[in-house]
Amino acid sequence: MPELKLFVSPGSCARVPTIALEEVGVPFDTELVRTAINQQKSPEYLKVNPKGKVPVLVVDGVPMSENVAILSWINRTFPDANLLPKAADDFEACQQIGDLAFFSGTVHPFVTRIAMPMKFISDVDLSFDIVRSKGKEDMQPVMAMINDRLANQPWWYGDDWSVVDGYLFWVWWRITGVGFDPAPFPHIQDHISRIQERPSVQRAMAREAANVEILKAEGNYRAPK
């Protein structure tokens, strides 16, 4: 069994591999990165991930960054957990990588505009709302497409849950937490209610809640707003 340590920050996209590892049921440690004080840019952390981002999964002492890679590795290493459907061939396997890349490379940047507009601008007072509003506008067709996909099936791939559903859960939690209107997307809302019943998701959220308490006790907690 590999020794696993996941670098995380509450509310971040590190939630997705946390859910994946909880779903597998393998023992793993998490290490808290304090983004409120930019610990992800500290010299120590940059040795782990020169990109200065979470998540990082350290496998037997060797770090791996990027959700697409981390989730693919967990899926391949623990195939019995069915984090992704069993692919019939290379083409289907690559389509699944495409789904993870869609969330990482297309959806996530819109999330950042909505949830962290200050990352795009230096003049916070003048431009904060402009960036956030444009992010919300650009997110509409993306969420409409996902809402349509979920109209007649409970999960992204049909009847069976996958880690792509975990990705959607994080995205939705993050954007609705800062004012993205959920009303036009009832099938996504139903999906979120379903996924919150999943024990792996509840365990991942409990890990995050414990880390939030640590940050609050230290004075390093920054609530989403």
Least CB distance from residue 35 to ligand GSH, whole Å?
A: 5
Least distance CB 12 / ligand GSH (angstroms): 4
Beta bridge partners of 4: 59
Q: Which is nearer to ligand GSH, 13 or 205 (CB)?
A: 13
Q: Which helix (H) or strand (E) element contains residue 30?
A: strand 29-32
Of 77, 119, 143, 108, whose CA–CA distance to 12 is shortest? 108
Q: How far is the CB of 40 from ligand GSH (least distance, A)?
A: 5
For the record, the structure tokens of 112 come out as: 């950042």
**Smallest separation (angstroms) from ligand GSH to the CB of 42:** 11
d(CA 93, CA 193): 28
**With respect to ligand GSH, which residue has the nearer C-beta, 68 or 87?**
68
Our CB check for ligand GSH shows the closer of 64 and 93 to be 64
Helices 186-195 and 124-149, interaxial angle, to 10°? 80
* CB-CB contact of 23 with 163 (8 Å): yes
| Chain residues that interact with ligand GSH, rule: CB under 6 A | 12-13, 35, 40, 52-55, 66-67, 104
- Of the pair 86, 119, the CB lying nearest ligand GSH is at 119
